[in-house]
Structure 1
Amino acid sequence: MKRILVPTDFSTQAENALKAAAQIARKNDFEIHLLHMLEIPSQMNDAISGGAAIPEIMLFIQKAKETIHYIKEQHYLKDIPIIESIKLEKASQGILSYSKENNIDLIIMGSNGVSGIEEIIIGSNTEKVVRLSAVPVIIIKEEINNFNPKNIVFASDFSEEIKKPFKKVLDFVNLFDAKLNLVTICTPNSFKTTAIAKKIFQKFISEFEIKNFSTHIYNDLNIEKGIIHFSKEINADLISLCTHGRTGLSHFFTGSISEDLANHATKPLIVFKI
């Protein structure tokens, strides 16, 4: 892992993501790719053929360059290699294509702390990136003064299809020399006895070398609440999940995301694609 992509719309949320990326990059000698997507309004796009909108577009590009230059001068980015880029493309499409073209290893995106998870589910740019990205995506919802996760939750059903992306989870955990808390959430609609859950854990972890981990069976009314409550109980620094590319996080969450999770899951979240 050497290249971190941070898409920015120059918002506070994007800055929070960039600060987290800077901490990871500085500790591990990574480079940061700072990408601004300049989406052209349809009416302006229609006018391009006649040349009428070219001056306006050039003005937007120049303003974006000035803002990126200002961002690069911030103290928290000092001595970190920064590669800047501005693309005229729809945000999610541009982020994904840039990631592929530049062999990005990790994407870090900012999201509103209150509605972040909800936005991921209902179809925002963040959701589209999470759903389609071939590389892990971290969602940062608040400013983190010291992004150095030592206590990471991995919530899953630990089925066969999780094994391949779990290798990437372990790479990330080892990067921070963190403890991994493996948890399966039992709900009234997805109940497992303790004996069955333990057998699933034993079969799953037997195929991996995990330095520092623990297994947990947590009972709650639904998966979303279970993840939140368990993460709070152990004071987790980061929540990690696996997702199918087809349906985003809705594969993991069996129903529409609860208001409780949308409002209270303010911890950073990293998603790995199955």
Structure 2
Amino acid sequence: MKKIIVPIDFSEHSEYALETAASIAKKYNSEIYVLHMLQLSNAIITASTSALNEEAVFYLKLAEQKMESFLDKPYLEGVNVIPVVKHFMVFKEINELVKAHDADLIVMGSHGASGAKEVLLGSNAEKVVRHAEIPVLIVKHNPILVEFDTVVFASDFTEESVESYLRAKSVFDKLDAKIHLVYVNTPNNGFKSSTEIDRLISKFLKMAEGNLDKFKEVTVVSDYSIEQGILNFADVAGADLIAVATHGRKGLAHFFAGSISEDVTNHSTLPVMTFKI
């Protein structure tokens, strides 16, 4: 966990993400790349007239000044912070930054859902998750403690999910966190008998671990929806973090034979970390 990228828009929730990243960086001696993407049009960027070029320079300098002020935080003391300002709000550019610096993690703030409003739907956080090739940690609240001792990782235990599980395991081993694997059985979404679930989990563990040592550590819960099953189990397990798998081309958390909507991320009060399948 040596290099962390924090995309910001100078909002309160960006500061939550930055403070979370700072806590992780202090624990693992990580560098933080703080990324702000300007929303400048192609006309301004490629303009040949001096007036438009001056406008582009003005916005760039303004962003750099805001960045300097934003990074003047006591919790960043002793942390190596590198500010990065990009001209375009092109979310796939984050992968270029990831590759250029061999980053391990993206930390991003989100205000989650409020009533019927699904904020991540179409939001910057979802766009980052869709394009990111590395894990994305989404936080919604001012961090009190950033100790991810207990993690719930929900899976459908299919062959497709093995790689994302192994990536998650690698990350949480570095964080010295205990992983609780959970399978949610629902009445209307591919309901399986106990025997079918046992066979599914056994096959998955043989592929992922090479043995069945963790079989008894997998919890099978029944609930009316997969999202609610995950959230309820995380509460019972006393989890500090929920981990989910994503198909980048489709958005957040598409797994379990059908697809999980953005509900887990939107409605969880816990931080959520996503892993691309």
Q: Verify same fold: TM over 0.5.
A: yes
Pairing 1:25-104 to 2, within 5 Å after superposition? 25-41=25-41, 45=44, 48-104=47-103
TM-score (norm 2): 0.87
Q: Residues 119 and 126 of structure 1 are in contact (CA less than 8 Å); yes or no, is this contact kept in structure 2?
A: no
Query: In the aligned structure 2, how far is the partner of 1:236 from the partner of 1:133?
Result: 24
Query: In the aligned structure 2, how far is the partner of 1:263 from the partner of 1:109?
Result: 13
Equivalent residue number for residue 195 of structure 1: 195
What letter matches 1:99 in structure 2?
A: V
How far 1:180 sits from its partner (Å)? Answer: 0.7
Equivalent residue number for residue 124 of structure 2: 125
What letter matches 1:110 in structure 2?
A: G
Query: In the aligned structure 1, how far is the partner of 2:184 from the partner of 2:245?
Result: 14
Q: Residues 118 and 257 of structure 1 are in contact (CA less than 8 Å); yes or no, is this contact kept in structure 2?
A: no
Alpha carbons of structure 1 residues 37 and 271: separation in structure 2 relative to 1, 3 Å? same
How far 1:255 sits from its partner (Å)? Answer: 5.8
Q: Residues 152 and 181 of structure 1 are in contact (CA less than 8 Å); yes or no, is this contact kept in structure 2?
A: yes
How far 1:167 sits from its partner (Å)? Answer: 1.6
SS of the aligned residue for 1:249 comes to coil
Equivalent residue number for residue 251 of structure 2: 248
Structure 1 stretches lacking a partner, 5+ long: none
What letter matches 2:4 in structure 1?
A: I
What letter matches 2:219 in structure 1?
A: H
Aligned residues: 270
TM-score (norm 1): 0.88
Bigger Cα displacement from structure 2, 18-27 vs 169-178? 169-178
How far 1:262 sits from its partner (Å)? Answer: 6.6
SS of the aligned residue for 2:91 comes to helix
Equivalent residue number for residue 167 of structure 1: 166
Alpha carbons of structure 1 residues 203 and 250: separation in structure 2 relative to 1, 3 Å? closer
Q: Residues 112 and 140 of structure 2 are in contact (CA less than 8 Å); yes or no, is this contact kept in structure 1?
A: yes
Pairing 1:93-242 to 2, within 5 Å after superposition? 93-114=92-113, 118-120=118-120, 122-189=121-188, 190-206=190-206, 207-208=208-209, 214-242=217-245
Query: In the aligned structure 2, how far is the partner of 1:55 from the partner of 1:240?
Result: 45
SS of the aligned residue for 1:49 comes to coil
Q: Residues 35 and 84 of structure 1 are in contact (CA less than 8 Å); yes or no, is this contact kept in structure 2?
A: yes
Alpha carbons of structure 1 residues 78 and 57: separation in structure 2 relative to 1, 3 Å? same
